[in-house]
Amino acid sequence: MRLLDLVAQCRDPFIVVPDASGARPIALSGAADFAQRIAECPLRFVLNDELTHASASLAFADGDRLTSCLDLIRIPAPLLWVEWSDSIHQQVISECGTVEERDPNAAGRQVGVLLQSTPHGRSGMARTFWSDPNSAGECEPQLSPVETHINLDDRFEAAAIEGMFRGSHATVTDAQDPRMADLLSTCASASMIGGQVLCAGDAR
């Protein structure tokens, strides 16, 4: 089943039960909170393996990547869903030498991104989902706690740690690759747990 269908049909809230004795379960933001939005999303794409491989290869290719043409890029719709095979994606980044070992759990996993954009398509926000097998061997949709904010006309300034706890952005960079660092500076990540911004990290 496609990941978008898993999310659209998801009705189970994401509940965390703390280990502390007497602690009450905590309801956090989960895939079910996005079910209606994805079901009503007017543009939904599921990339085949060939297109996934070509896209990932281009993304991790040497050269200028997207930094030389950011002025031409637009998020094409106010609401957009794209999903792909994580196994193929992991294969490409392994072949490119970006990672030393493939994720052994990537087989059969689908990954998807829900993109919400401003009308001009130059800024927006992405939420990442993926499928994981449960104890019964059935796939369940998972939601990353990381929001990725995109601004193609400006750069995000990283906040001090105190600012991140109040909801400011944290940037992600690549100290080994200035071109990738420049591209990543158009994005900032903020981790959302239980409706509050806690800290930041890199997205799946």
pLDDT digits (tens, 9 = 90+) for 103-130: 888 888 999 999 999 999 999 999 999 9
Helix axes 86-95, 49-59, angle to 10 degrees: 40
Q: What is the mean pLDDT of the chain?
A: 80
* 17-40 as b/e: b if 16+ CB within 10 A: eeeeeeeeeeebbbbbbbbeebee
Q: Determine the average pLDDT of the residues in 122-146.
A: 88
- Rounded to whole angstroms, the Cα distance separating 196 from 201 reads 15
Residue 97 has pLDDT above 80, yes or no: no
Q: Are 101 and 72 in contact (CB under 8 A)?
A: no
